[in-house]
Structure 1
Amino acid sequence: MVEIVKFSGPAVGLWLCGPLMSLIDTAVVGQGSSIELAALGPGTVFIDNTSYVFMFLSIATSNLVATSLARRDKEEVQHQISILLFIGLVCGVSMLIFMRLFGPWALTVFTGARNADIIAAANTYVQIRGLAWPAILVGWVAQSASLGMKDSWGPLKALAAASVINGIGDIVLCRFFQYGIAGAAWATMVSQVVAGYMMIKALNDKGYNGFSMSIPSPNELVQILVLAAPVFVTMMSKVLFYSLLVYFAASMSTQTVAAHQVMIQLYCMCAVWGEPLSQTAQSFMPELIYGANRSLLKARMLFKSLVIIGALSGFILGSIGTSIPWLFPKLFSHDPLVIKEMHKALIPYFLALSVTPSTHSLEGTLLAGRDLKFISSSMSTIFCLGSLLLLVFSSRGYGLPGCWFALVAFQWSRFSIALRRLTSPNGLLHSEDLTGYQLEKQKAA
């Protein structure tokens, strides 16, 4: 328990910084204009949720680095970092170009042509923040490499500095210079570039070259793809479901869209407190499952500790997270209609948030054990069923509460299926035969 807290405590800050930046944008912009607040909904979804598509880079880096360190192969660690940094840079430049060429079209499709004011403001936000894509993805690789080395303090310092820059920038540009949503975007973009540089510097301080990049060979690329493809499917299922929530909310009134923007940003900020449990599993489990001194008994002990901490965290986060929009809604909007819509979703908001940390700990264990086929297939199935439920609730006029109850079903299904898999007698934490979970086995298949 103590070892988990020492690692995951600082790691909380890493996952808080991203949603915190968007939440700061939401709070500052919301004080000036309900239209720009509504525009942050599709704007932040297009930037933040799209970035989660590339979470496979983060997970692949952490997994490969932790596994190589378990084999005590420092040269292999450096080589893997170099090729993943190159892939991150290529993906970042590609996303920057995509945003410039197709950003307005995608926002129009997502939001609806009738919301011209919202689309214009959202596109301004997206185009400015999109300039940081290369720095974001390269920084993610460097951050995940440090986490794979069981260091969470170095990346935390980088993101703490970025959050301060973002907060000050928002206040100066939005409140004093009245730049509105554009000012919020510039502040966030600059802070993310600074964070990316500091992540690389933190990696250099540990004796690795964070500026070294190598083009992967075909075999190396295949190996990364074998690990990344199921992770990509898993992350895409999450991203698409959260995007559908905003899509169905966007079909309602402007006040409903604004209320959902506040609620989803608060939810994301609270939910990321469970991400360090997933990262803890990905950093510590490979050594216990695949390392030179493997011990499934210790792996099960770690798993139990993660679940217990997740359950306690879920209850605390659910209680605190729900009290903010309930008791202090005017922190985000003074519009009584927006506040009324926020209060309608409080119960499903609590139910969805309370199970999230435990779900992260379970899925992090599955990723650490490379039970990739199961987690990708189960997540895609849950996504399809959850989307169908969301469609039914929306078509029957259940409004914003219907969207959030669909999220409740989505989250609890993920938790239940992952828990059953890991507690099975034939699961990776109980079976001595792990050939079915080996990366080489999957590659051969």
Structure 2
Amino acid sequence: IGASAILAENAAILSSGGGDTIDLGFDLNLESPINPATVTDVSEDAIEGLKVVLAASEEAAAAAEASMPQELVDHLDELSVVALKNATNLITTSDDEVDIPPKPEVVPTIATITAPQQEQQSPQTLNADEVSLAPVAFDVDLSESSVKEKTLDEQTPSVRKILKFAIPAIGVWLCGPILSLIDTSAVGVLSGTVQQAALNPAVAVTDYAALLIAFLYTGTTNMVASAQQTDRGTKDMPRTAKMMIGAMRMSTYVGAGLGAFLFVFARPLLRGIIGNDAIGPAVFAAALKYVRIRALGMPAAAVLGSTQAACLGMQDIKSPLYVLGAAAIINFLGDMLFVGHSNPLIGGTAGAAWATVISQYAALAFFIRWLSDKATKTTNEDQPGVINLSDAILEMTSKSDKKDCNGKNRRQSFRNVMDTFKGKALDAKRKRSTLFQNKGVVQNIRESSFGKAIRRRKETTTKSSTDDDDSFSTRGFLKNRFTTRDLFKLPDAETREKFAPYVLPVTSTQVGRVSGYVAMAHVVASSLGTVSMAAQQVIVSIFYCLCPIADSLSLTAQSFVPAIAEKESSMEKSAAMKKMLVNFLKAGAIFGGAMMAAVCGIPMITGFFTPDQAVKELVNSVVPLLLVFFGVHGFVCGTEGMLLGQKDLGFLGKMYAAFFAAVPYIMLGVKRKALAGCKSAGLSSVWTVFIGYQLARCGLWLGRAAKLQRGTYIAAKEQESAAASATTNMSALLAP
């Protein structure tokens, strides 16, 4: 058999699938015995020409396949397998017997065949006993809608997948509170009450100011997730890497700007938080040192935040946790080393600030090393490779005496298999005939409730195992593409332009959030007395540790939503977005229940925070209000993440701008009543206002999410109607 035989076999397959006969210009009789002595020798020129043609076809096929989306490549591979197998199942019935053509030996025509497939299809492994001609029935839906629906359904996260991603993401949100908690504990134990009191306004200034650059993190998460969706099917994900590097450069300069602002304006910011001049000079001086030292670490904090956001956008939750764990350990060791020192420049609150700054830069260096160095694989698994089909074909068609791994002539082994092929085909006829007669029974079993249940179970198991095995790590992602010096390069115009739409809306959102916390801190510190301040500090400490539980849902939504929200309007997209919204609401309910359970335990742990009975009673009086707040917090964060993922930044910016004015105004009303001697104005009054703010957000976010979903459905219906109208018009034009 030569190259002509191979071409003839493929032509027969194409003819059987399309119903037409392909004329090759020569005759080929596969039924005749194969005698190596009678094989026509192929000239060297013919061999070289064939090799050039096949090599060119390989390059063209590889280039075409590389330019196609991965979903399309996978689907075409499935269809090609189906077409080849269906070609062997053509059955022609007669009065006496079923005439079934033998299965041709198919030579693959795709350039990128993995090494395991090469071993299966290589002639060196073929023998007569391994030739299987059993028919396989396939039901294939070739419609574009079915492919799209499958893709969107796979990309829509289930409640289980949301929880699997969001629960580890809690650690990312807890980083700030944990570092502050370490500072608070170390300063209180090693430096005394005065230094610990200074941390309250100082930490408020640094943490609230850091929220003003949250547009970097929101923009990075969304844009990296979108870039990764565009890069699907590519090996190196160039757009994703470029977006990540651009975000890191942008963060360097934004963080430096914020640090300079805090360093210069630390004094007026602290006075604004404290609200009066009753605080002691020692406390104010300690707070001032803390803020200015922490300002030096803002560039590292900004780059760390953007890098973590990029990892979350690529759905890698483990890498940020490793880095944050390292930062927490370094911060703890630094606190133990510096805080108890007698030198005022490195002891007390200053020592806590230095420990935090050092931990941030160390964590950044570790993160860059993590992204730049690829882990060495210890397994010896065969990696997918590319084989040269030209050489394989030429081995079969030339006079080569190349041996296989067992010392046998590969060309002769292939011919021996073809000699036995005819006999095996006769046996296969009888088997196929029997299977064909029992086809109705098999079909009835497949369509029965038992068969459907088995298929559903198999699909569920396969999907579950796929989800469990699908883990992406950013380790080594920027290898040979990024160095530390790149952080100091100015971000290009394209990066600045992409971040621009996020600056005003997200900053307005964060200012609206911060305004409520700042107003509450101001009212408590300036009008409610020492006991209320102590109780508020206990409540806020617990509050900041519980909020990240649901805040991680927002990050999760921003990681999953853009991949579907940016697709063209269709009924499949509408269904996927609706399913995603429902799943995030379910996850929000689960998180809300967990937080409410934690709040119920507050009365049992207040003794660990203070021995003062009056403080305990005030803390316990706010617990019912906290139950309401955290009961809906999961819904608020989940829907807000959905809105951010759909880039509904204008709505969020306007709403938080309104809250920026409304919440402080109402809070200051409580302050006026307290200063006027109203007995009803107290800590519970402040938190009642905050509960109203939370319930308003919940109602507005849910209504907006429902409205956007309705808009997605209407756009899909209009698209469907337009397509149907165009089809009708085309049919009318083509009608005789």
TM-score using structure 1 length:
0.89
1:432 and 2:715 aligned: yes
- Tell me, yes or no, if the aligned pair for 2:221 and 2:313 is still in contact at 8 Å: yes
- Partner Cα separation in structure 2 for residue 183 and residue 50 of structure 1: 21
- Partner Cα separation in structure 2 for residue 38 and residue 346 of structure 1: 24
- Tell me, yes or no, if the aligned pair for 2:341 and 2:348 is still in contact at 8 Å: no
Q: State the AA in 1 paired with 2:548.
A: V
- Tell me, yes or no, if the aligned pair for 2:166 and 2:553 is still in contact at 8 Å: yes
Residue 309 (structure 1) aligned to one of 587, 610, 624: 587
Distance 1:234 1:301, change over 3 A: same
Structure 2 match to 1:113: 277
Displacement of 1:247 in angstroms is 1.5
- Partner Cα separation in structure 2 for residue 220 and residue 188 of structure 1: 30
1:20 and 2:20 aligned: no
- Tell me, yes or no, if the aligned pair for 2:574 and 2:716 is still in contact at 8 Å: no
**Counterparts of residues 21-60 of structure 1 (less than 5 Å):** 21-31=179-189, 33-60=192-219
Runs of 5+ in structure 2 lacking a partner?
1-158, 373-474, 675-680, 718-736
- Partner Cα separation in structure 2 for residue 133 and residue 264 of structure 1: 24
Residue 626 (structure 2) aligned to one of 336, 344, 349: 349
Structure 2 match to 1:207: 477
Distance 1:401 1:367, change over 3 A: same
Residue 161 (structure 1) aligned to one of 315, 326, 329: 326
1:287 and 2:594 aligned: no
Distance 1:170 1:392, change over 3 A: same
Structure 1 match to 2:514: 239
- Tell me, yes or no, if the aligned pair for 1:41 and 1:246 is still in contact at 8 Å: no
Structure 1 match to 2:290: 125
Q: Alpha-carbon deviations, 1:256-297, whole Å to 9, x = none?
A: 333323322321111011122111111111111114897332
Structure 2 match to 1:383: 660
- Tell me, yes or no, if the aligned pair for 2:263 and 2:291 is still in contact at 8 Å: no
Moved more, 311-320 or 326-335: 326-335
- Partner Cα separation in structure 1 for residue 655 and residue 242 of structure 2: 33
Residue 97 (structure 1) aligned to one of 260, 265, 281: 260
Q: State the AA in 1 paired with 2:251.
A: G
- Tell me, yes or no, if the aligned pair for 1:422 and 1:429 is still in contact at 8 Å: no
- Partner Cα separation in structure 1 for residue 708 and residue 243 of structure 2: 34
Choose between structure 1 and 2: higher helix proportion: 1
**Counterparts of residues 119-268 of structure 1 (less than 5 Å):** 119-171=284-336, 173-174=338-339, 179-204=347-372, 205-208=475-478, 209=481, 211=483, 212-213=486-487, 214-218=489-493, 220-252=495-527, 253-268=529-544
Q: Alpha-carbon deviations, 1:146-203, whole Å to 9, x = none?
A: 1111101001111112123333444554479894433333332222222333333343
- Partner Cα separation in structure 1 for residue 600 and residue 350 of structure 2: 30
Runs of 5+ in structure 1 lacking a partner?
435-445
Q: Alpha-carbon deviations, 1:334-367, whole Å to 9, x = none?
A: 4555444433432223322332222111100000
- Partner Cα separation in structure 2 for residue 135 and residue 14 of structure 1: 16
- Tell me, yes or no, if the aligned pair for 1:92 and 1:134 is still in contact at 8 Å: yes
Between the two proteins, the alignment pairs up a number of residues equal to: 434
- Partner Cα separation in structure 2 for residue 349 and residue 9 of structure 1: 21
Q: State the AA in 1 paired with 2:504.
A: A
Q: Alpha-carbon deviations, 1:107-157, whole Å to 9, x = none?
A: 123213331343222213222222211110011111111111110100111
- Tell me, yes or no, if the aligned pair for 2:554 and 2:639 is still in contact at 8 Å: yes
Moved more, 292-301 or 315-324: 292-301
2:296 counterpart SS class: helix
1:392 and 2:669 aligned: yes
Moved more, 394-403 or 143-152: 394-403
Greater C-alpha radius of gyration? 2
Distance 1:381 1:58, change over 3 A: same
Structure 1 match to 2:644: 367
Q: Alpha-carbon deviations, 1:74-125, whole Å to 9, x = none?
A: 3322222232222211122222222222212321232133313432222132
- Tell me, yes or no, if the aligned pair for 2:171 and 2:321 is still in contact at 8 Å: yes
- Partner Cα separation in structure 2 for residue 379 and residue 201 of structure 1: 38
Displacement of 1:234 in angstroms is 0.7
- Tell me, yes or no, if the aligned pair for 1:57 and 1:141 is still in contact at 8 Å: yes
Moved more, 268-277 or 56-65: 268-277
Structure 1 match to 2:145: none
Q: Alpha-carbon deviations, 1:288-325, whole Å to 9, x = none?
A: 1114897332222222121111122112213314523x
- Partner Cα separation in structure 2 for residue 353 and residue 21 of structure 1: 23
Structure 2 match to 1:8: 166
Distance 1:286 1:405, change over 3 A: same
Displacement of 1:415 in angstroms is 1.1
1:319 and 2:597 aligned: yes
1:396 counterpart SS class: helix
1:329 and 2:492 aligned: no
Q: With CA pairs under 8 Å and 6+ residues apart, which has the higher RCO, 1 or 2? A: 1
Distance 1:394 1:141, change over 3 A: same
- Partner Cα separation in structure 2 for residue 197 and residue 259 of structure 1: 39
- Tell me, yes or no, if the aligned pair for 1:288 and 1:296 is still in contact at 8 Å: no
Q: State the AA in 2 paired with 1:182.
A: A
- Partner Cα separation in structure 1 for residue 239 and residue 670 of structure 2: 50
- Partner Cα separation in structure 2 for residue 420 and residue 365 of structure 1: 12
Distance 1:174 1:258, change over 3 A: farther
- Partner Cα separation in structure 1 for residue 498 and residue 561 of structure 2: 20
- Tell me, yes or no, if the aligned pair for 2:335 and 2:352 is still in contact at 8 Å: yes
Q: State the AA in 1 paired with 2:707.
A: S
1:424 counterpart SS class: helix
- Tell me, yes or no, if the aligned pair for 1:81 and 1:145 is still in contact at 8 Å: yes
Distance 1:30 1:122, change over 3 A: same
- Partner Cα separation in structure 2 for residue 373 and residue 76 of structure 1: 26
- Tell me, yes or no, if the aligned pair for 2:163 and 2:587 is still in contact at 8 Å: no
Displacement of 1:399 in angstroms is 2.4
1:272 and 2:552 aligned: no
- Tell me, yes or no, if the aligned pair for 1:38 and 1:254 is still in contact at 8 Å: no
- Partner Cα separation in structure 1 for residue 546 and residue 582 of structure 2: 22
Moved more, 171-180 or 147-156: 171-180
1:77 and 2:240 aligned: yes
- Partner Cα separation in structure 1 for residue 612 and residue 284 of structure 2: 21
Identity %: 27
TM-score using structure 2 length:
0.55
- Tell me, yes or no, if the aligned pair for 1:23 and 1:266 is still in contact at 8 Å: no
- Partner Cα separation in structure 1 for residue 537 and residue 371 of structure 2: 35
- Tell me, yes or no, if the aligned pair for 2:250 and 2:496 is still in contact at 8 Å: no
Q: State the AA in 2 paired with 1:289.
A: A
Q: State the AA in 2 paired with 1:25.
A: D
Displacement of 1:218 in angstroms is 4.3
Moved more, 376-385 or 28-37: 28-37
Displacement of 1:24 in angstroms is 2.8
1:295 counterpart SS class: helix
- Tell me, yes or no, if the aligned pair for 1:281 and 1:365 is still in contact at 8 Å: yes
